[in-house]
Chain A
Amino acid sequence: MIQLLADVLSWVCLLGGSFFVVVGALGVIRMPDLFTRLHAGGITDTMGAGFILVGLMFQGGISLITAKLILVLGFLWFSSPVSTYALARATLASGQEPFWSEDLEIPDTARIPGMVYPVDAMGEADAGSGEEEE
């Protein structure tokens, strides 16, 4: 009975994880922009990996296997946001801007010292044209 319950829970988790993995990959293909693609990739790293590894944990039972799975899952959950943040920051610093960035203001605490941000020049251009119109 307990074994059947664990199997059913495991299958539900594995199927849910498969769904989220495929959806995240589709989002990476279909999204128009790198920053939106990062959002789609995050689905894979959190929901997809989480569900699949939890489903495997139900199969493993209380054993060393489950401990290793918890280690893998914990490391993925710590490393994925870090690499996503580093990727977004590197992309922003390289000059590529997200869509609809007219109203974007980068706070001083988020700026890399000595880096030139194209968003600032765009804001100044907008302000200049506004003054000319007045």
Chain B
Amino acid sequence: MFIVTALAILVAMALAMTRALLGPTVYDRVLAVNMFGTKTVLMISVLGFLTGRPDFLDLALLYALINFIGTLAVLKFFEYGDLGRRVDTGREA
């Protein structure tokens, strides 16, 4: 049963990768890569159970964290053209 789930996730990963390659705008690619990351988390979890080593869940948790931060960083870069905004403190530098 884990194999069926793993195959379904693999098919979905292939479709997400297709969208990442096709995507007309950069936001389509960001969406596809975000989905790909989510499916990677699921894939790692299922593979851990498939091979009888559920310790892989630590990797899945870490990958979920990294995926979220990466998506937000890329989005902020494309929205503002910068990763940090200058704050006007009212004092001269």
CB A20 to nearest CB in B, in angstroms, measures 9
Which interface residue of A15, A28, A80 has the most chain B CB atoms within 10 A? Answer: A28
A96 and B25 contacting across the interface, CB-CB below 8 Å: yes
Q: Which residue of B lies closest to A75 (CB)?
A: B64
CB pairs A–B below 8 angstroms (25 shown)? A18-B4, A21-B9, A21-B12, A22-B11, A25-B35, A28-B16, A28-B31, A29-B15, A29-B18, A37-B19, A45-B35, A49-B42, A53-B42, A68-B61, A76-B38, A76-B64, A79-B64, A79-B67, A79-B68, A83-B71, A83-B72, A87-B31, A87-B71, A91-B25, A96-B25
B1 and A10 contacting across the interface, CB-CB below 8 Å: yes
B65 to chain A: which residues have CB within 8 Å?
75
CA distance A44 to B8 in the complex (A): 12
B38 and A11 contacting across the interface, CB-CB below 8 Å: no
Q: Given A21-B8, A24-B12, are A93 and B79 neighbors across the interface (CB < 8 Å)?
A: yes
Q: Given A14-B1, A25-B35, A41-B35, are A53 and B9 neighbors across the interface (CB < 8 Å)?
A: no
A60 and B54 contacting across the interface, CB-CB below 8 Å: yes
Within 8 Å of chain B (Cβ to Cβ): is A86? yes
Chain B interface, number of residues (Cβ within 8 angstroms): 44
CA distance A100 to B42 in the complex (A): 35
B residues near A (Cβ < 8 Å) are: 1-2, 4-5, 7-9, 11-13, 15-16, 18-19, 25, 27-28, 30-32, 34-35, 38-39, 41-42, 45-46, 49, 54, 57-58, 60-61, 64-65, 67-68, 71-72, 75-76, 78-79
Neighbour of B57 across the interface among A11, A24, A68, CB < 8 A:
A68
A residues near B (Cβ < 8 Å) are: 10-11, 14-15, 17-19, 21-22, 24-26, 28-29, 34, 37-38, 41, 44-45, 48-49, 52-53, 55-56, 59-60, 65, 68-69, 71-72, 75-76, 79-80, 82-83, 86-87, 89-91, 93-94, 96
